[in-house]
Amino acid sequence: MREMLFGAKRSGRFVRSQLCALVCGAAIALAPASALAGAGTIAKEAGIGAGSALASLVYAPVKLCYATFGLVVGGMAWGFSGGDGEVAKTVLTPSVLGDYVITPSQLRGEEGIEFFGREPGYGKASTSVASAPDDWPEEGW
């Protein structure tokens, strides 16, 4: 029966391939647990990425509709104002600028979601306190 399973003669090649398979299997089975330590963070990042993709599937079409409506109204405002670019800019800035997708950092709370756009010069609020102009009276007046 043994001869039927393994053949009458075992070649050196067959024995080497079995030995190689055994060594590879043992190496995989005995992998250190430290290699599996990052599996939780990978799953967490994958979940946050999937969540941001799903949130963007809802958020992006709403933002695109708002931006398109803003373009139409901004064009009409420009025309009705006699070609005044500042009037059109007042309408176009909040509608066209802003975020169009939700990123993982926004879901984590590291960044804010900006639906209504701002002028490029008006970045995030600074932490420095503005001083009063020189011509203002001192406190306690």
Q: Which residue has the tokens 């309408």?
A: 91
| Three-state secondary-structure class, residue 45 | helix
By the 8 A CB rule, do 83 and 65 touch?
no
Total Cβ atoms within 10 A of residue 63: 21
Task: Give the per-residue pLDDT at 58.
Answer: 92
Q: Report residue 24 as tokens.
A: 């590879």
Q: Report residue 30 as tokens.
A: 């005995």
* First-residue to last-residue Cα distance in the chain: 110
pTM over 0.85: no
What ranges do the domains of the chain cover? Answer: 45-120
Local confidence pLDDT in tens for the 141 residues of the chain = 455 455 545 566 766 777 777 665 655 555 554 455 556 688 888 888 888 999 999 999 999 999 999 999 999 999 998 888 898 888 888 999 999 999 999 988 898 888 888 887 766 544 444 555 556 556 655
Residue from 90, 91, 97, 87 nearest 72 by CA? 91
By the 8 A CB rule, do 104 and 45 touch?
yes
